[in-house]
Amino acid sequence: MLTRLLLLLAWTGGDSTPPALPSLVPQPVAVRWLPGPPFEAGAGVVVVLSDSTDTGLRRLGSLAAAILSQGTNAALPPGRTGPRPTLRLVLDSGATIHPEGYRLEAGANVLSVTGSPAGIFYGLQTLRQLLPPGGSGRVPSVRIEDAPRFPYRGMHLDVSRHLFPVAFIERYIDLLARYKLNTFHWHLTDDQGWRIEIKKYPRLTSVGAWRRETVRAKQLNPYEGDGEPYGGFYTQADIRRIVAYAKQRFVTVIPEIELPGHAVAALAAYPELACTPGPFAVWTTWGVTEDIYCPSERTFAFLEDVLTEVMDLFPSRYIHIGGDEVPKTRWKESPVAQEVIQREGLRDEAELQSYFVRRIEAFLIAHDRRLIGWDEILEGGLAPEATVMSWRGTAGGIEAAQQGHDVIMTPGSQLYFDHYQGPQETEPLAIGGFTPVERVYGFEPVPEALSDAEAHHVLGAQANVWTEYITSPEQVEYMAFPRMLALAEITWTPAERRDSADFLRRLPAQLEQLDRLGVNYRIPDVAGLEGDRLVLGDSVTVTLSSPIPRARVLYALDAGSEHAAGLYETPFQVGLGDSGVRVTARLVLPNARLGPVRSAWFRRATLQPPARVDRATLAPGLTYSYHEARLRRASQVPSFAPVRRGAATGVELTGEERPEQFGVRFSGYLLAPADGVYEFALATDDGGVLQIGGETVVDNDGPHGMLERRGSIALATGLHTFEVLYFQGGGDRGLELRVLRDGVWGPIPAEWLYRRR
């Protein structure tokens, strides 16, 4: 609503009705509507360049002409008199406009886009969204001044686990550029395949690019393969083509060459690079292996040769070296590794990893490049000029920024697009987690823990598409969209301009554009079936709706109901009976595409009576107890002998817990201010359980990535025993509990929580 109000206040036209608000993504910095007739777009528009000798500007002129004619009337309205409408592209010296910013002004006969070449390109992407599909091709009189919040706005794609054609890589880059993302992080090597041609080492692709088969689904124990050989790679000609293609769209391609871990594909080709004799085979399963590069001079010579060819192919300032998930078992047992530790005066294998990374960084710096690595490169000491990509939450990014290093935020719990977008039982197989588009949009790249000076080290954010269970271009698109649109807005739009409700209002228009492009985006869920629901009464009114204006809702109920199935038109009432009723629904788009199936049980509930407790014996907040132990379920968190115990204002981690292998217990009382059904959402990484009055309300237990589950309970007015159990096994961590109040999800109010004095 704030965004809508700002745009309405900015409109200064004399007509009593402002123009329809544009559904622009990402939302610009400033939009001001102007009085006067619209600009008439179409094939008859004259494109004028401020410097007709500039090759790049001429290319942008061709793009502008294509945008004006695509999807609009091919000719100007019949009978038009006066000067022909003109689109001006004006190069800016950089004195007044941000290097990637632009100014777009549209009036009756002139539409101008001013900025650097990149800025003009982004202005044309905004123009593309301002033009109505099909229709008159009219752009209302408007002035837009815009620039990105962050210099790094990235999308990643893993091609090691599954390979994708060159044409799709170009399409992926096109889609990034359309939404003003400027970096493509290309994950080219891993245990499951080496995907880049290195001429000095041909076995990297003749051997390392091929695996004998792929693990079937998630069958790891016992292992079961699909029996199908899999592989392929990009030639150096392919890569040069893709890099040039991206450059024309102002997208930088950053290659990732994994080291010192995730190296089995390279070791299969050249086993002498390992600390053990091998032989090695390109991995057919997922996960982490103990076989990594040995820190020998032979290995460093090999990697320098590889990176020399990589730098010749990729002009990007940054080279990504991975650096994540490096088991030290082989180094602990290797005479070569131990000799390096002694020779260099290192304390342990963690410092040996730092030494390894520092040597590679020195080589890159000598060639005027800079190193990026995942946040594990902090272990043992960070290389002097390295940039950290923080994926295990934001803690690594905070630590690096506080040390004066640049940071790119890419936390798994919010920006891993290989996670599920809906209930696992109705979604394509994914690696785990739960990251709907709303969760992506809610991520703030600059943590509150950073000072203003430290915050300047946050270059931006990136979302990652890992492809263990993503096997086709269509599935990549399904996992990336519409979440990529949320990423585009959180990296471009100023924080104070972001508005989740307004973003969701603008999203349908963008989905229509994706429809026209043939993008296989995930269709949003039917609204009204967000989870099972308890009802105080014998019947329930079922209210469903479509978040896409022209989509219809198909629904079905349990057999025997008078509303068994059909096309939803208006809310209807249905009796609950003894076992309740299940409602199932999905969207159908005008092009007949079907959305995901959603269902919810509606059950009759009785109010749980309050606990018998003297409120005078209670204090505000909860009791927090912290336990250090190897746990596999939250239900294993002990109720005795904590390492630490104290008071907490709410359900959240303190930040003082160790990185892995711990559990916490929050206990006390929840005050229900009125009789009613209370709905909760518990998101955890790893597992968690919410219990109220001794009843399990949300069971989100077991080892997994960030995953949200919901549950509800009917409570009578008063105090009820309350407990949240959480455990952290390994990797990322996260704990968030929310309650639904007046249709809005938020933290449990502090005045609802009490503990024993």
Residue 9 has pLDDT above 80, yes or no: no
Reduced 3-state DSSP string for 620-652:
ECEEEEEEECCCCCHHHCCCCCCCEEEEECCCC
Q: Cβ neighbours of residue 14 under 8 Å, at least 6 residues apart?
A: 35
Tokens standing for residue 241: 């083509």
Classify 615-756 by CATH class.
mainly beta
Residue 238 has pLDDT above 80, yes or no: yes
Tokens standing for residue 357: 């990374």
Helix (H, G, I), strand (E, B) or coil at 77: coil
**What is the sign of the dihedral through the CA atoms of 703, 154, 376 and 164?**
positive
The rounded mean pLDDT for the chain is: 91
DSSP string, 392-412: SSSHHHHHHHHTT--EEE--H
Q: Beta strands of 206-357 (E only): which ranges?
A: 210-211, 215-220, 223-225, 230-231, 252-259, 318-322
For the entire predicted model, the pTM comes to: 0.89
Q: Which residue numbers are catalytic?
A: 190, 262, 325
Kindly report the backbone phi and psi dihedral angles of residue 692, in degrees, each rounded to the nearest multiple of 5, phi listed first: -130, 125
Alpha helices, DSSP H only, in 110-178? 117-130, 166-178
Q: Round to whole Å and give the CA distance between 592 and 595.
A: 10
442 neighbors 500 (Cβ within 8 angstroms): yes
pLDDT, tens only, 11-27? 333 333 445 556 899 99
Among 417, 457, 468, smallest CA distance to 440 is for: 417
Q: Round to whole Å and give the CA distance between 753 and 275.
A: 56
Count of Cβ atoms closer than 10 Å to residue 71 Cβ: 16
Helix (H, G, I), strand (E, B) or coil at 472: coil
Count of Cβ atoms closer than 10 Å to residue 343 Cβ: 9
Q: Round to whole Å and give the CA distance between 387 and 357.
A: 12
Helix (H, G, I), strand (E, B) or coil at 265: helix
176 neighbors 76 (Cβ within 8 angstroms): no
Share above pLDDT 90 across residues of the chain, in percent, rounded to a whole number:
75
The predicted pLDDT at position 14 comes to 35
Kindly report the backbone phi and psi dihedral angles of residue 25, in degrees, each rounded to the nearest multiple of 5, phi listed first: -140, 125
pLDDT, tens only, 56-86? 999 999 999 989 887 444 444 444 445 788 9
Tokens standing for residue 524: 């949003």
Among 120, 100, 102, smallest CA distance to 54 is for: 120
Kindly calculate the radius of gyration of the chain based on its CA atoms and give it in whole angstroms: 28
The predicted pLDDT at position 169 comes to 98
The predicted pLDDT at position 13 comes to 36
pLDDT, tens only, 363-420? 999 999 999 999 999 988 888 899 999 998 899 999 999 999 999 999 998 999 999 9
Count of Cβ atoms closer than 10 Å to residue 756 Cβ: 11
Please name the amino acid found at residue 404.
Answer: G
Tokens standing for residue 336: 């070569």
CATH topology of domain 36-146: Chitobiase; domain 2 (3.30.379)
The predicted pLDDT at position 12 comes to 35
Residue with the larger pLDDT of the pair 19 and 438:
438
Among 141, 142, 44, 36, smallest CA distance to 86 is for: 44
Tokens standing for residue 469: 């269970």
Q: Cβ neighbours of residue 190 under 8 Å, at least 6 residues apart?
A: 158, 160, 161, 258, 262, 265
- Of 409-418, 617-626, 739-748, minimum mean pLDDT range: 739-748
- CB-neighbour burial class of residue 57 (10 A; exposed 0-12, middle 13-18, buried 19+): middle
Residue 664 has pLDDT above 50, yes or no: yes
Q: Round to whole Å and give the CA distance between 249 and 173.
A: 8
324 neighbors 189 (Cβ within 8 angstroms): no
Is the previous residue joined to 686 through a cis bond, with omega within 30 degrees of 0?
yes
pLDDT, tens only, 710-735? 899 999 999 999 999 999 988 778 89
Kindly report the backbone phi and psi dihedral angles of residue 190, in degrees, each rounded to the nearest multiple of 5, phi listed first: -170, -175
The predicted pLDDT at position 10 comes to 33
The predicted pLDDT at position 606 comes to 92
Helix (H, G, I), strand (E, B) or coil at 343: helix
pLDDT, tens only, 139-192? 889 999 999 999 999 999 999 999 999 999 999 999 999 999 999 999 999 999
The predicted pLDDT at position 445 comes to 97
The predicted pLDDT at position 326 comes to 94
